[in-house]
Amino acid sequence: MLNIPTELLRALVTVVEMRSFTKAAQSLGVTQPAVSAQIKRLQYLLGYEVLDKSAPGVSLTPRGEIVANNARRLLSVNDEIVQMASGRAAGPCIRVGVPRDYAGSRLPMALAKFRERWPGVTYNVSSQGADDMLRDLEQGELDLVLAVFAEEPKITARHMWTDEAVWVHSSATKFDPDGPVPLVSYGGDSACQRLAVAALHRAGLDCNFVFTAHSLVSQTAAVEVGFGVMVMPRSRAIRNRLSIWEDGPLPKLPKLYGAICIRESGAGGTAIADLADYLNDQIRDNAR
């Protein structure tokens, strides 16, 4: 009977979850060639390819998806046995997906606070676009997704809410009503950015991306010193003490839609559902 070493399965799962051989090697504490060799050995033992070489980046073949999903379950059992042998209670690792423009300071604080309910829980937090995160959730690569949409999503969610989108500026903002609107932006797949650009285009206005940053701290600082204007949820603007342009010359914005979706079955199901409810309560409290 063929026995597959768990280190080969762990290498595959880590490469898939991090979408990078280099990052997987760093996480596993080995070299990138060592990870590549483990994947090759796994494919040799199985007798077929698990990674699709014809696709860009890291992509699984149909058989590879089956192997990866089963590998996660096997590794979960393996890790539970090891933790039992060490005398420590096994806690679930919850894989959380958050919007790229949402991973500010409050989310880590909320996750850390949640450990008071589940002392043994650990996290693997990543940021992507909403569509990518929902796909990973469906494929079993994420356990919980917090997503923000510029339009009402047609999805099944454990929690869903709306938030008012607003323009923020400062007293230092220089605005030419006859010129393009200066936008401070994330520079990635952001619901707020898509909403801002769409609203301006509908109003017949152009825009310039005058300051692009991947950090909410940098974005708010750029707004405060007058680089340009930005769209964000009203609740977040209030928390960050930004000036909301209530009666400004910019077009009115539609609602933003937020959702928390979870993987309904598998290991850690109770903790995942509890975390979803906890994050929903935190978001609603902060929005008041």
Q: What pLDDT score does 83 carry?
A: 65
Return per-residue pLDDT of the chain as tens, 288 residues.
678 888 999 899 888 877 888 888 887 888 888 899 999 999 999 899 998 887 777 788 888 889 888 888 888 777 777 666 655 555 678 889 988 666 555 677 888 888 878 877 888 888 878 888 898 888 888 899 999 888 888 888 999 999 899 999 998 988 888 889 999 987 666 788 888 999 999 999 999 999 988 777 788 889 999 999 999 888 888 877 889 998 888 999 988 899 999 987 655 578 888 999 999 888 776 555
Q: What pLDDT score does 243 carry?
A: 92
Residues 6+ apart with CB under 8 A from 185: 193, 196, 209, 211, 212, 219, 230
User: Is there a contact between 77 and 87 (Cβ–Cβ < 8 Å)?
Assistant: no
Q: What pLDDT score does 158 carry?
A: 93
Q: What pLDDT score does 214 carry?
A: 74
* Structure-token pair, residue 63: 């058989």
Q: Could you tell me the residue ranges of all domains in the chain?
A: 1-90, 96-288
* Structure-token pair, residue 8: 């080969």
Identify which of 48, 125, 52, 118 has the alpha carbon closest to the alpha carbon of residue 274.
118
DSSP 92: P
Choices 3.20.130.10, 3.20.20.10, 3.40.190.290, 3.40.50.150: CATH for 96-288: 3.40.190.290
**Alpha-carbon separation of residue 11 from 26, 36, 50, 136, 165 (angstroms):** 11, 9, 12, 18, 42
Written as one letter, the residue type at 268 is G
Q: What pLDDT score does 86 carry?
A: 57
Distance from chain centroid for Cα 4: 32
User: Is there a contact between 204 and 278 (Cβ–Cβ < 8 Å)?
Assistant: no
Cα-based torsion angle of the residue sequence 169, 259, 106, 213 in order, rounded to the nearest 10 degrees: -50
- Strand-strand pairing, 243-244 and 159-169: antiparallel
Q: What pLDDT score does 226 carry?
A: 92
Give the domain 1-90 fold: Arc Repressor Mutant, subunit A (1.10.10)
Work out the angle at residue 195's Cα, subtended by the Cα atoms of residues 145 and 226, and round it to the nearest 5 degrees. 110
Q: What pLDDT score does 144 carry?
A: 94
pTM: 0.64
Identify which of 274, 283, 20 has the alpha carbon closest to the alpha carbon of residue 147.
283
